[in-house]
Chains A and B, each alone.
Chain A
């Protein structure tokens, strides 16, 4: 028993390691080849069944995908998204029992411009990914990150949900029937089997030319300038994530996809959860790591791979020959402390080796998170959504909040003294009352004065963590045109609204 002067002389017993010829826990016949969740040993066949079943179960449990719906698969080439692609192929194949019924398309984004790869390497990587995509026989779109600089500013608008009315119906079956009926009325020739033949008749060339403008070295340089202006790797990764989302959203909207499937695995989501908290994105945790993400309204992002650990995925890909392409990214070979995301990843992985329940505990916690506020009605203005990440603004600094304290200390530590108000609704801010939005800032004559108000003005439209990302940039006007244009537009609308309100008060 635990006594004060008892000593353990290092005679602690080792946990008994499994013997070499352990039997599968499911069929109890064949030799096990893999250990999942630290205790369950599976044989090859049982593992395959388990893996395929989990995908179907995930889609079936969260009844979000309607038959005949167009779904865009975001395939980066990495193991998780390649695995997702192979599961979709498997599920849609003719001889699968209870086969899935939706219409897939694929998008692949070439991010080599941001991570500084040479054109030669990028071409090679894209060619490899393309050969994988071609073998799936689904229409695919290869998009370059440089195109993110030329997006229209409408991509930042939150669309109204097309399926909102459907989901308030009494049951899933009724919703599906309604969906089928509306679709049949709208596009009688684009439904289910007709949709298949329509898609297969599209030549790959046509689909590609739809979006891929040839990228010029100027575009690549502009992109590199953008990323070079960001000081920390953390902010770079955050910015990359934002641009990627916008590109996928734009493709989905222009090509008519209403759902997007991302290949985030359980391990990846656990890391994302913890690093998002560190980045200040706590308010949107439920959307960032949940199964479905409906912040963009008309396009819903789903994560069907969120139940698979990265070990299971890697093993399945190896055993059943799922092709995947490794493309080095921004943080390849980076040190452990290079960015918040990297540090979190190494922390979780190290903890996982000693405590195998780490990732699943974090995952289960994330399942219990829900957004506190009721869903926005479409009438409420989009002013209270962040400009870049479209989650609700969480920067209403209340009197005694920690956020308010950081704002005050920031104002005090600025050499210039308090400038135009940092956020819209700061009640009782010290110093002069907040100037009008189009006023004080633009009257300054010095160039530096011009830049400072631009940063401050953007801040009022951003959530806390997007503000931190922008703060890490040396110059705000390097941001892509569509973001700056949309910011201008929003500010004008806010001004007009304020004028109307003030006018009606008189």
Chain B
């Protein structure tokens, strides 16, 4: 039911090291019946974009502690964190605040 969603993803603070050094990604999430939410996005990123060491980015259901997530330049805690439903043309930024990337 949901149309394919185009997203603009950005990685910073060292997180880009896990994605071959590429900081910006334009992705299109495929069609599916339920709306895409952040939890599913993380699963999708892990399967399709992450090049190495998944445990340094994702931990269980959510991101690793120390990685800040901004959705459309707002803290994702204000948007419902994993439960936020993605809209077309959303901008999601992952910034690592950890010492070692």
Contact = CB atoms under 8 A, between A and B. Distances in A.
Contacts of A318: 12, 70, 73, 93, 95
| B14, B70, B100, most chain A CB atoms within 10 A | B100
A18 interface: yes
A315 B75 contact: yes
Contacts of B78: 18, 20, 22, 32-35, 41
A331 B53 contact: no
Contacts of A350: 65
A326 B65 contact: no
Given A17-B81, A20-B79, A353-B65, A332 B73 contact: no
A34 B69 CA distance: 11
Interface in A344-372: 345-346, 349-350, 352-353
A310 interface: yes
B49 interface: no
A267 B78 CA distance: 22
B14 A349 contact: no
A268 interface: yes
A315 B69 CA distance: 10
B30 interface: no
Nearest to B81: A17
Given A22-B78, A314-B68, A331 B13 contact: no
17 contacts: A17-B77, A20-B79, A20-B80, A32-B78, A33-B75, A35-B78, A41-B78, A79-B97, A314-B95, A315-B68, A315-B75, A326-B101, A329-B99, A331-B100, A342-B99, A345-B66, A346-B65
Given A33-B74, A332-B101, A345-B98, 11 more contacts: A32-B74, A35-B78, A315-B70, A318-B70, A326-B101, A328-B14, A332-B17, A332-B100, A333-B17, A341-B99, A342-B99
A18 B75 CA distance: 11
A44 to B, nearest CB: 9
Interface of B: 12-14, 16-17, 53, 56, 65-66, 68, 70, 73-75, 77-81, 83, 93, 95, 97-101
Contacts of B74: 32-34
A267 B97 contact: yes
B80 A333 contact: no
Q: Can you list the 10 inter-chain pairs with the closest CB atoms, starting with the nearest?
A: A310-B97, A349-B65, A331-B100, A349-B66, A33-B74, A353-B65, A332-B100, A332-B101, A34-B75, A326-B14
Contacts of B14: 326, 328, 332
Interface residues of A, number: 35
Nearest to A331: B100
Contacts, number: 84
Given A314-B13, A353-B65, A334 B100 contact: yes
A41 B79 CA distance: 12
A79 B66 CA distance: 14
A473 to B, nearest CB: 23
A346 B74 CA distance: 25
Contacts of A326: 12-14, 16-17, 101
A17 to B, nearest CB: 6
Contacts of A319: 73
A334 B14 CA distance: 13
Contacts of A34: 74-75, 78
Interface string A252-273: 0000000000000001100100
Nearest to B83: A17
Interface in A1-54: 17-18, 20, 22, 32-35, 41
A349 B56 CA distance: 13
B65 A311 contact: no
A14 to B, nearest CB: 10
A79 B13 contact: yes
Nearest to A326: B14
Nearest to A329: B100
Contact of A35 (B16, B66, B73, B75): B75
A79 B56 CA distance: 19
A79 B99 CA distance: 10
Contacts of A315: 68, 70, 75
Nearest to A354: B65
Contacts of A342: 99-100
Contacts of B13: 79, 314, 326
A313 B56 CA distance: 21
Contact of B53 (A79, A271, A314, A333): A333
Nearest to B79: A20
A165 B46 CA distance: 60
A263 B81 CA distance: 30
Contacts of B79: 20
A319 B53 CA distance: 29
A249 B36 CA distance: 53
A334 B100 CA distance: 7
A334 B66 CA distance: 15
Contacts of B56: 333
A342 B73 CA distance: 29
A484 B38 CA distance: 56
Contacts of B100: 329, 331-334, 342, 345
A268 B70 CA distance: 21
B99 A345 contact: yes
Nearest to B84: A20
